[in-house]
Amino acid sequence: MLFARKTGPATLIPGVAILFAVYFLYLWRNGDRLAVATPRPAVDDWQPRGQAAFWRNVPVHYPPSSIRPLATGTPVRYPPIQATAFPAQPQDARRQAVKQVFAKCWRSYRELAWGADELTPVSGGRRDPFGGWAATLVDSLDTLWIMDMKAEFAEAVAAAEAINFTHSTLDQVNVFETNIRFLGGFLSAFDLSGDARLLRKAVEVGDMLYKAFDTTTRMPITRWDIRAAARGERQAAPASVLLAEIGSLSLEFTRLSMLTGDARWFDAAQRIADAMAAQQDSTALPGLWPLTADAAQTRPVFDAGSLFTLGAMADSAYEYLPKMAALLGGRLPGYQAMYEKAADAAARHNLFRPLTPTDADILVAGIVHVGEDGSTELEPQAQHLACFLGGMFALGGRLFGREKDMDVAQRLVDGCIWSYKALPHGVMPETFYLAPCPSPGGDCRWDEAAWKREVVRRAGKDKKETDDDDDDANNDDDPTGTAAADAIIAEERLPPGITAITDRRYVLRPEAAESVFVLYRATGRAELLEAAWAMFEAIDAATTTPLANSAVHDVTEAADADGKPQAADAMESFWMAETLKYFYLVFSEPGLVSLDEFVFNTEAHPFRRLVR
């Protein structure tokens, strides 16, 4: 799509002639496939002015000694991600059903919470947990465009223009959340629509976030005192930051630099990636990085720590490795190298097959603890957040020709589908535990006694943390613990295979739908459509309210008169930005936001890839 610029008819004719000449020269030089790139807009189109230039003009205390330019050169010719054949059955009714749910949520947000970060979907009120910058509005822009709600999109863009990023409702701003939701939302809405006002807003947010890098180490402050920053005070990077929060700025910052030609953002994020690359082999679990990093040292530390997860607080740092390769057309080979090391280490250490009553051949990503002596212990925790991994393995598998990863991707996705089906409402909880098969790759036949032993052991573990004396699980009258297990299973409402549920909520998260979508686009497998539909119907049934959809407290309970779980009166912006978008796209023509043209940020905002 060409970027629409305001041009009079007199300048139009030579302009068009030059465009065609360049186009044919490009075709002649580059052969078959022409990149569907957004041409870089003129500086005048996005340069912030007046109040929008506020963050640009705050004094800088620690300017970088140099700015690394964006990589140039011919992009790598990656293999296609999307399958060549898709099922013929029309999915129109399903797509419309998803759109209706979105439209209802949007109507309620517009009527009751316009301009607020979130609508409260039961009480019909408003909340501002993300700075009061209309998170739901900005996060929903590209979904409005994709669902062809163009009138609503136009109205939302006009409202977004007025968001005041010099003032926040919060004392402390989460830089990561602001980046993925606001910067990501504006960039993607611009990439889809070409509306320059959106790029201007993206630059405004980019200028603000760039200020969080004004530290002696040029590492960002991830939980940021934005008011002190606005006053121009000196600031320091923290000694402990979460891997995901420091490692997931690259995609948005790089896209912003690609669109503006201003390399400052890319340079800022690339310093983080360089430090991660340099220390990837010196961690306690080489290939993976520990959960926290130290950004206060002159040489930031990414290799001190013993806990390794691909789930909460680490997740998107891994997700962004293959996505950076996709975005940049492989112009920085380091990302592929980092991804391959991480994927191999994760597959070896974190992924496990659990015991299930149906002997399902599925995989789940757990947490690895590394001891002082280098020994590893797997904590068989499953998280809804970690369901993004199936999509990551599918994307990396296709992009880098790692055929074996496609099998891993399928089994990870099947693990999330299994987890949805295992619960009474057909909706997976936030975190729970499973019993790993005794030997990986070996016998994994269902063993009810083994499951019950693990239920008792897990309950003892959980109890020990609060009450050391309570050890009735090892009662002498019940040497195998079966009665104790049955009591726990009944009380905790544990489905067969699940050994504990430590966070019983479902908060409208997208990761399962996301991975089903990516794997569907990568394989064209018809059964994924059915899995997606079952998921969507189950989620909507369990979370629907008269106004919208709500997070629920406990996916194992039937609390209200309709037998639904109790609503928590919360609807985070990712419900409309991600969950509903992925469901809509899975039931759309595979050419709509093709993975061969776009790469999604971790908030489901598609950016145009550099493709050859």
Ligand X SMILES: *[C@@H]1O[C@H](CO)[C@@H](O)[C@H](O)[C@H]1NC(C)=O
Residues marked as catalytic:
177, 315, 430, 511
Among positions 7, 11, 30, 51, the unique one binding ligand X when judged by CB under 6 A: 51
* C-beta closer to ligand X: residue 62 or 114: 114
Helix (H, G, I), strand (E, B) or coil at 249: coil
Indicate whether 227 belongs to the interface with ligand X (CB under 6 A).
no
Backbone angles phi, psi at 589, to 5 degrees: -55, 135
Tell me how far apart the alpha carbons of residues 102 and 104 are, in angstroms, rounded to a whole number.
Answer: 5
- The least distance separating ligand X from the CB of residue 109, rounded to whole angstroms, comes to 22
608 within 8 A of 37, measured Cβ to Cβ: yes
- Interface with ligand X (CB under 6 A), residue total 4
Q: Which is nearer to ligand X, 43 or 228 (CB)?
A: 228
CB of 264 to ligand X, least distance (A): 24
Helix ranges (H only) for 434-475 are: 448-466
Q: Rounded distance, CA 244 to CA 603, Å?
A: 13
Give all strands of the β-sheet with 381-383 in edge-to-edge order: 381-383, 431-434, 498-503
Q: Is 167 in the site for ligand X (CB under 6 A)?
A: yes
User: Taking Cα atoms as reference points, which of 144, 132, 142 lies closest to residue 106?
Assistant: 144
Residues flagged as binding site for Ca(2+): 602
Q: Name the minimum Å distance from CB 54 to ligand X.
A: 8
Site string for ligand X, 395-434 (x = CB under 6 A): ----------------------------------------
Side chain identity, residue 84: T
Q: Is 174 in the site for ligand X (CB under 6 A)?
A: no
- Of 107-115, 164-172, 394-402, 486-494, the segment contacting ligand X by CB under 6 A is 164-172
Within 220-263, residue ranges assigned H as helices are: 226-230, 243-247, 250-260
Q: C-alpha angle 582/506/357, rounded to 5°?
A: 95
CB-wise, 200 or 411, nearer to ligand X? 200
CB 520 within 8 A of CB 398: no
* CB-based burial label for 455 (10 Å; 0-12, 13-18, 19+): buried
How would you label 593-612 residue by residue, b for 16+ Cβ within 10 Å and e otherwise? Answer: bbbbbbbbbbbbbbbbbbbb
Count Cβ atoms within 10 A of the Cβ of residue 514 and give its class: 0-12 exposed, 13-18 middle, 19 or more buried.
Answer: buried
- Pair 231, 55: CB distance under 8 Å: no
In the bound state, the residue with its beta carbon closest to ligand X is 167
Q: d(Cα 452, Cα 480) in Å, to the nearest integer?
A: 9
By beta-carbon proximity to ligand X, the closer residue of 22 and 158 is: 158
CB of 252 to ligand X, least distance (A): 23
524-563: contacts with ligand X (CB under 6 A): none
Which lies closer to ligand X via its Cβ, residue 204 or residue 252? Answer: 204
**Least distance between ligand X and beta carbon 162 (Å):** 7
Q: From CA 300, how far away is CA 221, in angstroms rounded? A: 13
CA dist 454 and 457 (Å) reads 5
CB of 222 to ligand X, least distance (A): 23
98 φ/ψ angles, rounded to the nearest 5 degrees: -65, -45
Which residues 6+ apart lie within 8 Å of 452 measured at CB? Answer: 480, 481, 482, 485, 486, 489
CB of 230 to ligand X, least distance (A): 8
Smaller CB separation from ligand X, 226 or 408:
226
Residue with Cβ nearer ligand X (6 or 231): 231
Q: How far apart are CA 112 and CA 108, in angstroms?
A: 6
- Which of the ranges 55-63, 128-136, 163-171, 194-202 carries the binding residues for ligand X, by CB under 6 A? 163-171
| Choices 160-168, 201-209, 274-282, 598-606 (CB under 6 A): range interacting with ligand X | 160-168
Binding-site member from 64, 87, 112, 166 for ligand X (CB under 6 A):
166
Amino acid occupying residue 165: F
Q: Compare residues 137 and 459 and give the one whose CB is closer to ligand X.
A: 137
Give the nearer residue to ligand X in terms of CB position, either 167 or 341.
Answer: 167
Rg (CA), the chain: 25
- Provide the minimum distance between the beta carbon of 552 and ligand X in the complex, in angstroms, as a whole number: 36
Binding mask 112-151 for ligand X (x = CB under 6 A): ----------------------------------------
164 makes contact with ligand X (CB under 6 A): yes
Length of the chain, in residues = 612
Other beta carbons less than 10 A from residue 347's beta carbon = 17
Q: How far is the CB of 167 from ligand X (least distance, A)?
A: 3
Q: 25 CB contacts (<8 Å, ≥6 apart)?
A: none
Closer Cβ to ligand X, 51 or 358, answer by number: 51
Among 67-75, 82-90, 162-170, 378-386, the segment contacting ligand X (CB under 6 A): 162-170
Stretch that binds ligand X, among 133-141, 161-169, 195-203, 396-404 (CB under 6 A): 161-169
DSSP 544: B
Q: What is the 3-state secondary structure (H, E, C) of 271-309?
A: HHHHHHHHHCCCCCCCCCCCCEEECCCCCCECCCCCEEC
Tokens of 434: 């499973």
What's 559's DSSP letter? Answer: -
Least separation, in Å, of the C-beta of 226 and ligand X? 11
Annotated binding site: 602
Q: Using the structure block, give the residue that is written with the tokens 């296709």.
A: 398
| Contact positions vs ligand X (CB under 6 A) | 51, 164, 166-167
